[in-house]
Amino acid sequence: MMKKIIFFSLLALSSGIAPAIAQKAAPAVPPRVFGVVTLEKGALSTNRLGTLMHNQQSVATQLTGIAKEVCQKEGCWMKIGVAKRDDFDVLVKVKDHAFVLPQNITGRQVLVNGTLTQKTLSVAEQKHYLEDAGASREEIAKVTAPKQVYEMQAAGVAIQ
């Protein structure tokens, strides 16, 4: 009788019943927060930048997107956007280096509070960011002209 109980217990565990029960019981993981973030509904996706910035130099807002690149030297900036769409990317810089972003968050959903502006990145700035991101020399050498970008000074970041 004891052998049957052990056998069926092992069979249940190996068939995935126990992991399925454990998944239902696990609580939701709260976001990791750096700096000051108000977790509000209504954060704008980066694909709404044109509408948001229409006739404005800067605007305080809350954006959501996917972390596409992160500074691998200091964690002082990241690029967020819509997956596979570079035209909606935002360069997020940590305001006054108040906190450091984890370097392993590429591909994660993020929420950013801060001030959004539109600016021109010089060739030197673009190359600097590529170096920080760990780009190859060939990729860095391809940068030959200034580029218009959206930039956000982040007061806070929440990582899902």
- The CATH number linked to 111 is 2.40.50
Neighbours of 48 (CB within 10 A): 12
The beta-strand segments (E) located in 16-146 are 32-35, 44-45, 58-70, 77-82, 85-94, 109-121
Q: Is residue 11 situated within a structural domain?
A: no
Per-residue pLDDT tens over the stretch 82-92: 877 777 789 99
The average pLDDT across 91-119 equals 92
Per-residue pLDDT tens over the stretch 18-50: 444 444 555 566 789 999 888 766 787 877 777
11 vs 2, 3, 24, CA distance in Å? Answer: 14, 12, 20
Strand duo 85-94 + 109-121: pairing: unpaired
10 vs 2, 4, 79, 137, CA distance in Å? Answer: 12, 10, 47, 54
Q: Full-prediction pTM beyond 0.85? A: no
Q: Is residue 34 situated within a structural domain?
A: yes
Per-residue confidence (pLDDT) for residue 92, from 0 to 100:
94
Q: 8 versus 59: which is more confidently predicted?
A: 59
Task: With beta carbons less than 8 A apart as the criterion, state whether 115 and 59 touch.
Answer: yes
Residue 70: closest CA among 112, 41, 30? 112
pLDDT classification of 94: cutoffs 50, 70, 90: very high
Q: Is residue 67 situated within a structural domain?
A: yes
Say what the alpha-carbon torsion angle 96, 99, 102, 105 is, to the nearest 10 degrees.
-70
Q: Is residue 21 situated within a structural domain?
A: no
Range of the domain at 54: 29-159
Q: How many domains does the chain have?
A: 1
Per-residue confidence (pLDDT) for residue 27, from 0 to 100:
56
Q: Is residue 140 situated within a structural domain?
A: yes
Q: Is residue 4 situated within a structural domain?
A: no
Q: Is residue 37 situated within a structural domain?
A: yes
At 59, the amino acid letter reads V
The average pLDDT across 38-67 equals 81
> Does position 5 have pLDDT exceeding 60, yes or no?
no
Per-residue pLDDT tens over the stretch 109-159: 999 999 999 889 999 999 998 888 888 999 999 999 999 888 999 999 999
> Does position 66 have pLDDT exceeding 60, yes or no?
yes
Q: Is residue 125 situated within a structural domain?
A: yes
From CA 75, how far away is CA 86, in angstroms rounded?
21
